[in-house]
Amino acid sequence: MSTSNVATDATLLSRLDRGLFKLESVMNLIAGLMIFGLVCLAVAHVLSRKFFNAPLPGFVDWVEQFMAVFAFFGIAYCHRLGGHIRMDMLVGKLKGRVLWATEWFSSVFMILLVSVLIYGSYYHFDRAFDLAAPWFSRDSSMDIAIPLWPAKLVVPFSLSVLWLRLALHIWGFGRAFKTGATHPVAVPLIQDAASLAAHEAEAVS
């Protein structure tokens, strides 16, 4: 068992899980760096306004661009660790195949929903990525006219990574239901408060 409460072994499923987690970790790191960059930008904006009476041009525009990255790049990483808000008070009462079946149906519902979101968000990106349109009619920010298509591309890309994560969870929970495993691989396991605190302390140390 790893500190992330996701069991691993030598199976193909576990190898795919760990491989995807590397991508998710890089994306999560980029999201964190974007937050740090926004903090530095905000400090520069405030200091420039206070001492030079000249706020940074396009500050709000850049914030809008960066927000898409740190809001979506970490979503698959968080889901892999089971970090999203969930009804653990209810699901935590379930055991064995009943638990795995519940988690499987939940993952199937989520992957269907994410599929719809990928389609819709890609449509908005494709509409913004119309390079044949005149420059004055392209989808851009209000102040300094930054093209919005890179930020809009972030959404379907991040959701596609989440789709892959959900596909692995469907495989993992289905495999657990079939075999009756108590600690299946490649899926987040429900932890009690003491175990969660211990894992968080181990991760920090």
Alpha helix locations (H) across the chain?
Answer: 12-52, 59-72, 75-80, 88-91, 96-128, 149-179, 193-204
pLDDT classification of 3: cutoffs 50, 70, 90: very low
Greater model confidence, 140 or 28: 28
158-200: per-residue pLDDT in tens? 999 999 999 999 999 999 999 999 889 999 887 666 666 666 6
Q: What is the mean pLDDT of the chain?
A: 87
14-58: per-residue pLDDT in tens? 999 999 999 999 999 999 999 999 999 999 999 999 998 988 889
Structure tokens at 34: 């974007």
Domain ranges of the chain: 12-204
- C-alpha distance from residue 6 to each of 107, 171, 196 (Å): 16, 14, 12
Tokens 């420059």 belong to residue = 135
pLDDT at 128: 85
Q: Does the pLDDT at position 83 exceed 70? A: yes
Structure tokens at 71: 């809001």
The region of weakest confidence among 87-91, 146-150, 153-157 is 87-91
With beta carbons less than 8 A apart as the criterion, state whether 186 and 24 touch: no
Torsion angle of C-alpha atoms 151, 79, 20, 32, degrees rounded to 10: 50
Q: What is the mean pLDDT of residues 122-140?
A: 74
Q: Does the pLDDT at position 113 exceed 80? A: yes
Q: What is the largest CA-CA distance in the chain?
A: 68
